[in-house]
């Protein structure tokens, strides 16, 4: 959490994401993950993201000349649908999106929380 420069109020999102990862992670003590026991099939790891990482998320509204995406932070996975939760620091808004483009220079990017 310290690498992301997100405020302490985001700890709840971090804990939910950690719990999700623990439920799909393999263990030496049991032959199946909790996800496999509950759903009857192994979990997919292809959708996983690094918590707090910067990502470009498409904006739905705006002028023709405005930027079509905004630089947000990934903060978790929704329980009820596919996609990702993002936080937009400049506007202080939260959004749920299915697609995003991750930044490559994380965690060294410190410009997000200052804008």
- C-alpha torsion angle, residues 86, 92, 93, 95 (rounded to 10): 0
22-40: pLDDT as tens digits: 999 988 888 899 989 999 9
Residue 63 predicted with pLDDT over 90: no
Q: What is the pLDDT of residue 36?
A: 92
Which pair of tokens denotes residue 62?
Answer: 């705006």
Residue 83 predicted with pLDDT over 60: yes
Please report, for the chain, the start and end positions of each structural domain, with discontinuous segments joined by +.
8-102
Residue 110 predicted with pLDDT over 70: no
In which order are the strands placed within the sheet that holds 93-97?
93-97, 84-88, 69-76, 54-58, 101-102
**pTM for the predicted model, two decimal places:** 0.77
């Amino acid at each position: 959490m310290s690498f992301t420069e997100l405020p302490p109020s985001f700890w709840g999102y971090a804990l939910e994401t950690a719990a999700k990862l623990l439920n799909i992670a393999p263990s030496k003590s049991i032959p199946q993950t909790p996800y496999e026991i509950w759903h009857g099939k192994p979990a997919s790891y292809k959708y996983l993201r690094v918590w707090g990482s910067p990502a470009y998320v498409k904006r739905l509204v705006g002028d023709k000349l405005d930027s079509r995406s905004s630089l947000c932070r990934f903060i978790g996975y929704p329980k009820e649908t596919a996609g990702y939760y993002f936080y937009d620091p400049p506007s202080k808004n939260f959004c749920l999106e299915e697609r995003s483009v991750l930044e490559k220079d994380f965690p060294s990017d410190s410009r997000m929380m200052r804008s």
